[in-house]
A and B are shown apart, each in its own frame.
Chain A
């Protein structure tokens, strides 16, 4: 995906070679034409990736979606592990469970790796939307673990192409920003004018290469749900390899034949908005009401580029404690991948669980829970 992002923001070979239709890239709402031709440190766009995996009826792992903007949840991985160690210490002894608590140090190394001008001692900060964000706990947790400052937009100021933080001793330059706010809110001079979370002039400083952002601006074009359908083609195109993991079959409403199929089979399909996250803007056909079906019929007909559909994959369940008894609940898995001087996959991951019986929606913003997940030493 980093190769893809570099390409679409530079030569756009993959489009010129006809592998991905231009409208897929240019029609993605998170595509940032302002960043074409702008280089980012080490050509790294996605430094932190949280890909969602599910296991289907046949036991195959499938990629459900790629999260390449600001994937969240890693603090739950660490906290779940701490809770398990406290409650079931006896389980750990002989099992050979690989530790996950190296993550903050690895993340910090990843962030320092992209410091402008190879600065050996960069000032790295975490940019949070603030205490009202549902992931604020995680922001605070990670900043604390990495011993870096957690800043809000109002703590930063861009002057003459550099970014500074406002301290009791005056301004101090910032080199790397691990940002946990969306592109749209980063800089009111460039993106949403009404953003009060961002820093006016930040994007200019990024363009000039005076500050690095992780993840970079514009990565949303790669985790767009329409782009998703082309990821296997990307892998073949850039790496000349076959994908190791399969995907969930995906119908793209902007293709006329797919649109017809989607509209005719809505009750059998899961329909997702192409650029939403957090479980918002989706329809689960088999459990939807007539009104919801009609609403999505209308939405898909009118904005086909914005919607995709997938067959309902009855992904795996896991025994879960519910009201004092064990019951099956659907789970997915989000491993975290860091892309610094090497690629590091966290030996663990966020297993998200849909706590409502039969539900396939695991997002924490929709009431999902999470479970500790072990990777055993070979």
Chain B
């Protein structure tokens, strides 16, 4: 048993951290791709980024902030732009704020690492690195997030809080892996340019640290079916959607104490159904349905799982209306709340 709000902070702390890491993976690979002449074919860098923004559901936000995009604007928007609530910097800041709210529940080492990352991304050294060696900058973010994960694994008591932390990370990872796949599904199929296609799928694999894993299973030749098989359906590869959902399902059952294979609340029902779906399907079903449509359905389910976690454990049904009149968004209260919080001191 733990405070609902604390569970929520733990969940979001790790979820935002994972999101920052995956965005860093995405930008790193994209920028690296853009260095190759062939990547673009006849298109512009802008065209290259469009599906990336679409797959991460940030296209609208980007267009409104940058009506006349220049070179480097997308990377800036995804990395350091605080006006973008899902930029790497925004995610790290939010992860750190969540960590601060549960400072007494996490280990000192976790706190240090999240602060180190938060300071690094906007430090003079960090910014200089971003300017001169962007790959190294993004690698540093990725490795810091992975270090945070490792520190968590090595220092945090395996209690309910740990489960919520895992849940946030796993659901985000499943979501982002599916989005990486979606990027390529949105690219216009170029007329029989198989060299370019395998280059692009190779980039998706690299973004997911899946190159080695792919070769072990599917050999050296990169095919859509192979990538889909590994990133959606692999039971062994730790960033695959199925693997993440299986772990999330286990974690949820650990929280509630219900045996796996049954469900005691809505989120267990969703992850269970999703797991069954991923366990008894493969690339042929995806290709028949269409990759983009398949991923779209998957993401609806992933969102529903996140929402169900919130409803089952954070909002206690029936108590919501007492605290916030229907229609009030908690965020609109936050400035006012901050002001009152600052006033209390003797």
Contact = CB atoms under 8 A, between A and B. Distances in A.
Interface of A: 50, 67, 69-72, 129-137, 140-141, 143-144, 149-152, 154-155, 157, 165-172, 180-182, 185, 195-197, 200, 277-278, 365
A154 B323 CA distance: 8
Contact of B338 (A132, A181, A277, A365): A132
18 contacts: A72-B345, A129-B343, A130-B338, A130-B341, A131-B97, A131-B100, A131-B101, A131-B341, A135-B345, A144-B103, A157-B322, A168-B313, A171-B316, A172-B1, A182-B344, A196-B333, A277-B345, A278-B345
A181 B2 contact: no
A70 to B, nearest CB: 5
Contacts of B336: 196
B209 to A, nearest CB: 32
A152 B340 contact: no
B160 interface: yes
Contacts of A180: 344
Nearest to A50: B346
A70 B5 CA distance: 24
Contacts of A50: 346
B340 A129 contact: yes
B341 A166 contact: no
B4 A167 contact: yes
Contacts of B160: 168
B342 interface: yes
A57 B5 CA distance: 52
Closest 7 CB pairs of A and B: A144-B104, A132-B341, A129-B341, A169-B1, A130-B341, A277-B346, A132-B338
Nearest to B323: A154
Contact of A155 (B4, B103, B343, B346): B4
Interface string B263-284: 0000000000000000000000
Contact of B340 (A143, A154, A195, A200): A195
Interface in B268-327: 313-314, 316, 319, 322-323
B161 to A, nearest CB: 10
Interface residues of B, number: 31
Given A72-B346, A155-B4, A278-B346, A150 B337 contact: no
Nearest to B161: A168
Candidate in A140, A144, A166, A181 with the most chain B CB atoms within 10 angstroms: A166
A75 to B, nearest CB: 12
B7 interface: yes
B104 A133 contact: no
Contacts of B100: 131, 136
Given A69-B346, A166-B316, 6 more contacts: A132-B341, A155-B4, A166-B4, A172-B1, A181-B344, A182-B344
Contacts, number: 100
A243 B270 CA distance: 70
B224 interface: no
Contacts of A165: 3
Contacts of A137: 103
A134 B342 contact: yes
Contacts of A278: 345-346
Contacts of A67: 346
A211 to B, nearest CB: 17
B327 to A, nearest CB: 16
Contacts of B103: 137, 140, 144
B104 A185 contact: no
Contacts of A151: 3, 5
B340 A168 contact: no
Candidate in A129, A167, A168 with the most chain B CB atoms within 10 angstroms: A168
A185 B314 CA distance: 24
Given A131-B101, A172-B1, A196-B333, A166 B345 contact: no
Given A67-B346, A72-B345, A197 B340 contact: yes
B345 A185 contact: no
B345 A365 contact: yes
Given A71-B346, A140-B104, A157-B322, A167 B341 contact: no
Nearest to B338: A132
Contact of B5 (A140, A166, A181, A185): A166
Contacts of A69: 346
Candidate in A131, A140, A141 with the most chain B CB atoms within 10 angstroms: A131
Candidate in A143, A167, A172 with the most chain B CB atoms within 10 angstroms: A167
Given A133-B345, A168-B7, A150 B322 contact: no
B306 to A, nearest CB: 16
A143 B104 contact: yes
A13 B2 CA distance: 47
B129 interface: no
Contacts of A155: 3-5
Candidate in B6, B97, B340 with the most chain A CB atoms within 10 angstroms: B340
Given A166-B4, A166-B319, A196-B336, A133 B255 contact: no
